[in-house]
Amino acid sequence: MSITNHTFKTKSGETLAYAQTNTSGPVLMLVHGNMSSKAFFTPTMERLASNMNVIAVDMRGFGDSSYEKPFDTLKELGDDLLELVEYLDLKEVTLLGWSTGGGVVLEMAASVHDRFKQVILLDSVGLTGYPMYKKDEKGQPLLDQPHTSKETIAQDMVQVVPILMAYQNKDKALIKMIWNALIYNLKQPDEATYDFHCEEMFKQRNLVDIDYSLMTFNMTDSHSGFAPGSGRASLITCPIHIWHGEKDLVVPVVYAHQMKEIFKDRAHLHLIPHVGHAYLNDDFDGWIQDLERVVLQ
Q: What SS3 string covers 45-106?
A: HHHHCCCCEEEEECCCCCCCCCCCCCCCCHHHHHHHHHHHHHHCCCCCEEEEEECHHHHHHH
Separation between Cα atoms, residue 290 and residue 271, nearest integer Å: 12
N residues, the chain: 297
Domains and CATH numbers, the chain: 4-295 (3.40.50.1820)
pTM of the prediction? 0.97
- Asked whether the beta carbons of 56 and 41 are under 8 A apart, the reply is yes
Query: Terminal CA-to-CA distance of the chain, rounded, Å?
Result: 23
CB 20, CB 55: distance < 8 Å = yes
Per-residue pLDDT tens digits of the chain, which is 297 residues long: 689 999 999 999 999 999 999 888 999 999 999 999 999 999 999 999 999 999 999 999 999 999 999 999 999 999 999 999 999 999 999 999 999 999 999 999 999 999 999 999 999 999 999 999 999 999 999 999 999 999 999 999 999 999 999 999 999 999 999 999 999 999 999 999 999 999 999 999 999 999 999 999 999 999 999 999 999 999 999 999 999 999 999 999 999 999 999 999 999 999 999 999 999 999 999 999 999 999 998
Quote the CA–CA distance of 226 and 146 in Å, as a whole number: 7
Whole-number Å distance between alpha carbons of 93 and 114: 10
Closest to 123 (Cα-Cα) out of 286, 261, 275: 275
